[in-house]
């Protein structure tokens, strides 16, 4: 299965297949470590890729945006503070869970950093994506090869355009290999 060949555990969210650029400069905010991923809204409750056991904070495979505090990134929410300001626009995909898992290194907590991938041509597999629409939470989303990907209100990939402001302007990636019933990983090529 795509995403498991490198030996990563299937619940790690991200497997880098071709890295163009990795940014390790930006810092986490308190919200980047404490953000609720499951239960934050109706769409997150209906998402089969999230559960009550999902860690808090930014997750590997979630899109990150420039924060309002200089030098920080936050999980994207599919909104743009103001079209003339770059805050709220996606800049990349988080490589690691900010909080980590029990019995593993919690490097995000220790360093305060949020490393992320960016650059058109970056390819990775992820099992972190929306499985239902925002408006009808419960209406399943089907991914097909070649589909454009946008940012959902939960900072996850979605081929359904969010109802949030300006999100339609930001195509953040293209589906190369769609997830299936036998392989939940989706292979994405970034366009940001």
Look at residue 94 in the predicted model and tell me its pLDDT. Answer: 94
Nearest to 4 by CA among 173, 179, 146, 122: 179
CB of 12 closer than 8 Å to CB of 105: no
11 vs 187: CA distance, rounded Å: 15
CB of 132 closer than 8 Å to CB of 149: no
Query: What pLDDT digit, counting tens, does each position of 156-187 carry?
Result: 999 877 655 444 457 899 999 999 999 999 99
H or E stretch at 107: helix 107-111
Q: How many helices (H) and strands (E) does the chain have?
A: 3, 11
Nearest to 11 by CA among 127, 104, 125: 127
The total number of residues written for the chain in this structure: 192
Look at residue 86 in the predicted model and tell me its pLDDT. Answer: 61
Look at residue 142 in the predicted model and tell me its pLDDT. Answer: 93
Look at residue 102 in the predicted model and tell me its pLDDT. Answer: 62
Look at residue 10 in the predicted model and tell me its pLDDT. Answer: 44
pLDDT lower than 50: segments of the chain: 6-11, 165-168
Look at residue 148 in the predicted model and tell me its pLDDT. Answer: 94
Pairing of strands 14-18, 123-126: antiparallel
């Amino acid at each position: 299965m795509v995403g498991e060949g490198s030996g990563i555990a299937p619940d790690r969210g991200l497997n880098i297949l071709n890295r163009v650029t990795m940014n390790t400069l930006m810092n986490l905010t308190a919200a980047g470590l404490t953000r609720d991923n499951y239960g934050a809204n109706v769409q997150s409750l209906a998402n089969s890729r999230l559960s009550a056991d999902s860690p808090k904070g930014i997750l590997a495979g979630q899109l990150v945006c420039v924060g309002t505090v200089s030098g920080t990134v936050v999980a994207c929410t599919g909104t743009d503070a103001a079209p003339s300001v770059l805050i709220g626009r996606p800049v990349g995909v988080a490589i690691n869970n900010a909080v980590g898992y029990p019995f593993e290194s919690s490097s995000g907590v220790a360093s305060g950093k949020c490393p992320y991938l960016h650059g058109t041509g970056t390819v990775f597999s992820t099992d972190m994506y929306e499985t239902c629409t925002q408006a009808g939470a419960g209406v399943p989303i089907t991914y097909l090869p070649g589909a454009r990907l946008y940012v959902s209100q939960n900072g996850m990939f979605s081929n359904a355009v969010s109802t949030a402001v300006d999100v339609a302007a930001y195509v953040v990636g293209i589906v190369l290999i769609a997830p299936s019933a036998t392989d939940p990983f989706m292979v994405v090529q970034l366009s940001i």
